[in-house]
Amino acid sequence: MDYGVLDLKDYILTGTGLSQGCDVTVYNGNNLVTLSNAFTYTSSLTPVVTAVTPRRGGTGGGTKLTITGSGFGSDIDNVMVTIARTPCNVTYVNEMEIICITDAQPQSQRTKVKVNVGGTGIAKLMSTSPCPPALLGKYKTP
């Protein structure tokens, strides 16, 4: 059975301010359907990433990565960071900063850093629109 693909690349905002409705387009290979105001984005409920430094690290791991933004909380047990699906071991977290140590990567690659804050979901990369997919800054292993 084909359940379709949820495509958030094409999104439309309705409303202004801290809470905005977002349209979602669903395509199952045969049909394309747009759901108006399918979800509401509320900025105060979503962690936001504004920077990831350094932008590069070795494939052997051990790179200290600093992620800045907002909404990370203060409970280190509630924050999970992954790079190309490999854990980045969180050593410090506060409301605006996460520090983690990278694990080894099987190959050099351009990939995304994903931050999941328990209870509030996956952090989004700061952009001009609140409705794009909730994926983070890029991190390249040389």
Say whether both 62 and 111 belong to one domain.
Answer: yes
Say whether both 29 and 86 belong to one domain.
Answer: no
How much is the pTM? 0.63
CB 142 within 8 A of CB 59: yes
Say whether both 32 and 76 belong to one domain.
Answer: no
Range of the domain at 123: 46-141
Say whether both 75 and 105 belong to one domain.
Answer: yes
Radius of gyration of the chain (CA): 17
Query: What distance in Å separates the CA atoms of residue 123 and residue 103, rounded to the nearest whole number?
Result: 20
DSSP-assigned letter for residue 88? E
Say whether both 24 and 93 belong to one domain.
Answer: no
The tokens for 62 are 């051990």
pLDDT score, position 14: 42
Say whether both 56 and 36 belong to one domain.
Answer: no
Query: What distance in Å separates the CA atoms of residue 39 and residue 20, rounded to the nearest whole number?
Result: 9
Say whether both 104 and 58 belong to one domain.
Answer: yes
- Number of Cβ within a 10 Å radius of residue 32: 11
Say whether both 124 and 80 belong to one domain.
Answer: yes
Say whether both 74 and 31 belong to one domain.
Answer: no
Say whether both 37 and 55 belong to one domain.
Answer: no
- Distance of alpha carbon 117 from the chain centroid: 10
Say whether both 109 and 132 belong to one domain.
Answer: yes
Say whether both 90 and 117 belong to one domain.
Answer: yes
Q: For residue range 12-39, list pLDDT tens digits in order.
A: 444 445 677 777 878 777 888 888 888 7
pLDDT score, position 81: 93
Q: What is the CATH number of the domain that holds 57?
A: 2.60.40.10
The count of structural domains within the chain is 2
Query: What distance in Å separates the CA atoms of residue 62 and residue 58, rounded to the nearest whole number?
Result: 8
Strands (E) located in 54-141: 64-70, 79-83, 86-94, 97-102, 109-117, 121-122, 124-125, 138-141
DSSP-assigned letter for residue 119? T
Among candidates 56, 38, 17, which has minimal Cα distance to 137?
A: 56
- Inform me whether the pLDDT recorded for 108 exceeds 80: yes
